[in-house]
């Protein structure tokens, strides 16, 4: 069984983890540029003033800025039909609130899109992917302030007009539902609470976070409407970090807890962006948590008029929820949950669940009935370079193969799936830890956790495997 004709196979990256060139070509600092390196056990710190002698992984990342021609040629060699990338907002508007864009930054993406076009690779562009200009944090505390909506729409207007003939597919915000969790405040919205020092130190204010999420919903809806006015052929989607949640037992308390987790973590964002309104359960949740969303007149109409054309999401693992608090938690699962005895885990403790992807695709398609894209899915692992220079990453092939098999099952179930862009197609900096050691790519980049290495690119075994997958449209796994 193959995917349907015209299916978009490809890979995904984010500028803050991939691009580098953080202060070149007129670019201003983004929120990620102010984050130090970390590890699996030491959290990344947020430094409002850069410290001399401290390592900031996003400053160079893996330097797509200097290697974009080589990198895109390697994607083309694999046969990519689509490349999901993000535009660095502060490369276009260095402080975020500037009134005029930075021409040199715009020219860089002109060059990238021209290179992709040369190889018939369709760009899928994330407008905001954990790259809020740090100037907006300093001036407005990021998305906590409604003023940032106007800054974002100015940025979108520039992108849509400049690239209206080069880009068809857009995503308004990466993993917008990250704002339903404490770590999303700084990472996804540039909000810096007083006393906040690391991504995971527990300094938080849910009222501010959910208000910021509302501002992003309004901004997204306005962007969708604007994009369709500038080019009616644009396809503009949402992007959710999907948290597939199973109940631990058939105890109704477990069932209800898993359902609530799905509603709050996933469905609030999907419902607002696809259906154009907050769902009923959101109102109860806000009331119970003491959260009051401040709406301006016209916001509800804006949300109704700015529904997305397709739904995209990341999928790495599934979670298990239990009302019994004495059970063992799954330590590696980024988002909590308890250990699932039926699943294996990655080196980072993330539980591997290909069938959960089929379940998720069906769950989403039943609810929304619009085209779906899997725009992040992959395995972070420690890769060993053999003496002959090869990298035998069979574990990555096994992981991806299992997930692609289940996507094919979902398509057979009737799901309208149009794209698969595997995460971190070229090794890049880990968002949560800032490490290089946790590698995802088909292509190895010679760089270590401390920033040492010549950045040379080498295909891994999975590179040649994925090339065959694409050639056969998913038949040959």
Which tens digit of pLDDT belongs to each residue from 441-462? 999 999 999 999 999 999 999 9
- The CA distance from 333 to 204, in Å, is 21
Question: Which of the following is catalytic: 175, 321, 409, 435?
Answer: 175
- Ramachandran quadrant class, 401 (left: phi over 0; alpha: psi -120 to 50; beta: rest): alpha
Question: Which of the following is catalytic: 19, 131, 376, 435?
Answer: 376
Q: Provide the pLDDT for residue 349.
A: 79
**247 token code pair:** 């109940």
Quote the Cα angle for 349-202-140, to 5°. Answer: 120
In the numeric block, the tokens 């995802």 are attached to: 440
How big is the chain, counted in residues? 477
Annotated catalytic, 435?
no
Within 97-242, residue ranges assigned H as helices are: 103-118, 134-140, 147-162, 184-189, 206-230
- The CA distance from 340 to 115, in Å, is 44
Could you tell me the maximum CA-CA distance found in the chain, to the nearest angstrom? 65
Decide: helix, strand or coil at residue 130: coil
Q: What is the 3-state secondary structure (H, E, C) of 277-332?
A: CCCHHHHHHHHHHCCCCCCCCCHHHHHHHCCCCEEEEECCCEEEECCCCCCCECCC
pLDDT score of 473 more than 80: yes
With a threshold of 0.95, does the pTM exceed it?
A: yes
Q: What is the 3-state secondary structure (H, E, C) of 259-282?
A: HHHHHHHHHHHHHHHHHCCCCHHH
Rounded to 5 degrees, φ, ψ at 111 are -65, -40
Nearest to 177 by CA among 358, 315, 5: 315
* Tens digits of residue pLDDT in 112-142: 999 999 999 999 999 999 999 999 999 999 9
* Tens digits of residue pLDDT in 184-228: 999 999 999 999 999 889 999 999 999 999 999 999 999 999 999
- β-strands 417-423, 443-445: how paired? unpaired
Contact 433, 377 (CB under 8 A): no
**58 token code pair:** 């996003």
* Tens digits of residue pLDDT in 301-334: 999 999 999 999 999 999 999 999 888 776 655 5
Decide: helix, strand or coil at residue 181: coil
Residue 50 CB neighbour total at 10 angstroms: 12
Burial of 139: CB neighbours in 10 Å, binned 0-12, 13-18, 19+: middle
First-residue to last-residue Cα distance in the chain: 11
**391 token code pair:** 């990298």
Q: What percent of the chain has pLDDT over 70?
A: 99
β-partners of residue 141 are none
Q: Provide the pLDDT for residue 360.
A: 98
- Ramachandran quadrant class, 336 (left: phi over 0; alpha: psi -120 to 50; beta: rest): left
Q: Provide the pLDDT for residue 345.
A: 85
Q: Provide the pLDDT for residue 334.
A: 54
Average pLDDT on 167-174 reads 98
- The CA distance from 368 to 86, in Å, is 25
- CA distance to 18, 60, 63, 416, per residue, from 454 (Å): 15, 12, 11, 42
- CA distance to 126, 152, 400, per residue, from 86 (Å): 4, 14, 23
Contact 350, 314 (CB under 8 A): no
Q: Provide the pLDDT for residue 332.
A: 56
In the numeric block, the tokens 């500028």 are attached to: 15
**229 token code pair:** 């006015």
Q: Provide the pLDDT for residue 331.
A: 62
Q: Provide the pLDDT for residue 328.
A: 77
Q: Provide the pLDDT for residue 76.
A: 98
Nearest to 238 by CA among 175, 286, 150: 175
- The CA distance from 77 to 84, in Å, is 16
Nearest to 432 by CA among 125, 66, 92, 39: 39
Contact 89, 129 (CB under 8 A): no
Q: Give the mean pLDDT of the chain.
A: 96
- pLDDT grade, residue 40 (50/70/90)? confident
Residue 195 CB neighbour total at 10 angstroms: 8
* Tens digits of residue pLDDT in 67-107: 999 999 999 999 999 999 999 999 999 999 999 999 999 99
pLDDT score of 154 more than 90: yes
Annotated catalytic, 387?
no
Nearest to 15 by CA among 100, 95, 123: 123
- pLDDT grade, residue 335 (50/70/90)? low
pLDDT score of 357 more than 60: yes
């Amino acid at each position: 069984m193959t995917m349907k004709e015209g299916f978009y196979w490809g890979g995904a990256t984010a500028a803050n983890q991939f691009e580098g060139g953080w202060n070149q070509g007129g670019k201003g600092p983004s929120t990620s540029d102010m984050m130090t390196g970390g590890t699996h056990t030491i959290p990344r710190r947020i430094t409002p003033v850069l410290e001399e002698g401290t390592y900031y992984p996003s400053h160079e990342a893996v330097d797509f800025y200097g290697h974009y021609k080589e990198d895109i040629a390697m994607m083309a060699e694999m046969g990519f039909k689509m490349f999901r990338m993000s535009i660095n907002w502060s490369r276009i508007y260095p402080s975020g609130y500037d009134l005029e864009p930075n021409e040199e930054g715009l020219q860089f993406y002109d060059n990238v899109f021209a290179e992709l076009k040369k190889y018939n690779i369709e760009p899928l562009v994330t407008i905001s992917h954990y790259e809020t200009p740090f100037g907006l944090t300093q001036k407005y505390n990021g998305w906590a302030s409604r003023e940032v909506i106007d800054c974002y729409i100015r940025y979108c207007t520039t992108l849509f007009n400049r690239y209206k003939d080069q880009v068809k597919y857009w995503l308004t915000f990466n993993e917008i539902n990250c704002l339903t969790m404490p770590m999303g405040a700084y990472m996804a919205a540039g909000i810096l609470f007083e006393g906040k020092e690391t991504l995971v130190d527990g300094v938080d204010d849910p009222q501010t976070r959910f208000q910021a999420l509302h501002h992003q919903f309004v901004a997204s809806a306005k962007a969708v409407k604007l994009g369709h006015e500038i080019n009616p052929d644009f396809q503009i989607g949402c992007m959710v970090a999907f948290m597939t949640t199973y109940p631990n037992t058939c105890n109704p308390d477990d069932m209800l807890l898993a359902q609530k987790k799905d509603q709050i973590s996933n469905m609030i964002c999907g419902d607002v962006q696809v259906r154009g309104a907050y769902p009923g359960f959101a109102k109860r949740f806000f009331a119970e948590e003491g959260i009051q969303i401040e709406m301006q007149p016209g916001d509800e109409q804006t949300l109704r008029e700015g529904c997305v054309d397709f739904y995209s999401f990341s999928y790495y693992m599934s979670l298990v929820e239990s009302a019994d608090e004495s059970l063992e938690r799954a330590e590696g699962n980024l988002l909590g949950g308890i250990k699932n005895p039926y699943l294996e885990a990655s080196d980072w403790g993330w539980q591997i669940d290909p069938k959960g992807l089929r379940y998720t695709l069906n769950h989403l398609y039943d609810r929304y009935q619009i085209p779906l894209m899997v725009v992040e899915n992959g395995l972070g692992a420690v890769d060993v370079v053999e003496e002959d220079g090869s990298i035998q990453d069979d574990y990555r092939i096994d992981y991806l193969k299992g997930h692609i098999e289940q996507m094919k099952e979902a398509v057979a179930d009737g799901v309208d799936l149009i794209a698969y862009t595997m995460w971190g197609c070229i090794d890049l900096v880990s968002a949560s830890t800032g490490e290089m050691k946790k590698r995802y790519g088909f292509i190895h980049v010679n760089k270590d956790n401390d920033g040492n290495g010549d950045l040379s690119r080498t295909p891994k075994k999975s590179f040649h495997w994925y090339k065959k997958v694409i050639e056969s449209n998913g038949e040959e796994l």
